[in-house]
Structure 1
């Protein structure tokens, strides 16, 4: 292992969910290329729920406010791509993440960081997402975000912007990043919006490896800059 990988693996346990929405991902390759939601059974003639609106992070009331007042990337209309579902944690995929985090915390470990990896726009978004408020430890969260963004730029000069989620992108109620901090107990949570920067969810395959390498370096940067660790990282 190189020094960065050894440092991370010696210091942290890392849990990876390669695809949080496997059924929706498969459907996007077979039937509807830009399908976003899961493939949950039809409700009122609709199918699918946006899993990143289904978490217990100001889901109900804030979701209603978002729909009626703020237009905050959430909808209670089942036809919408950002439909939040009939109830909080109604979906098996969101429940699975919740249950795994509970298992980690119950086993004597502590969830240090929760990373949600999306596309697109080349952003690193800091909490909270549900409204224009920040956690008490926002200074350390944002300091690490700045270092993560520098790391994303290092190998290929890719420009990422870090910033508070609602200001940099838009407010979102019921998102997994907020739940990671509010419900999962993580001290650091971030949402990545990976390549490309332009308005296009479809990215050419030759971006896959560079995208992954940039992301890896940013994870190393986070590991070197959270929980009061002063590490020498070699990327």
Structure 2
């Protein structure tokens, strides 16, 4: 049985991903900033018949919280097979480049970029003990510089100073991480679940959490010949799902 850890998994896409991974036979640590909220969700899932899901407290901006989570996984499982860095924040809206404060931008980067690095580095030791470690960093189409430079792109006018740039930085970090670990059996990719209807965007997106989670899992549970250092998007309308950087 594979062991997966998903940050920000007590609701929306992260929660649905945990549910689908559980159904497929993985043991899932459901990461939540508030343990009580996470345990409440797990109890509800248990009543619905889901098994092998456990709430774990983690704040990706708090090194002590990350260390405690890592130690728990190590004590209980000894290794980690799948890390899905899903936790993220949108930040204060609007985010104009001329008026958004640096503090607001830093706050978004603290979770969406530095938080991912903190978690990844902490869990790397446990991932290296897996026969086929997978790291999926959940990004956004708004992180694509190529698409942002294309006036014909349907989201061309959705520009901001914090959220999109934090995902662009995450994409760049993922490329470097995948390259550095290329000689090991890691598969490390960024995955955009697409514009999905969630609490994150006041349910304005056209996509479903079921589709988003399925897409994440498809590009996470790859075999030894799968790609690494790639950018996949559920909004790309071709069979590869590969997005331009």
- TM-score of the two chains, using structure 1 as the length reference: 0.34
Larger proportion of strand: 2
Structure with higher RCO (Cα < 8 A, 6+ apart):
1
Instruction: Tell me the TM-score normalised to structure 2 length.
Output: 0.33
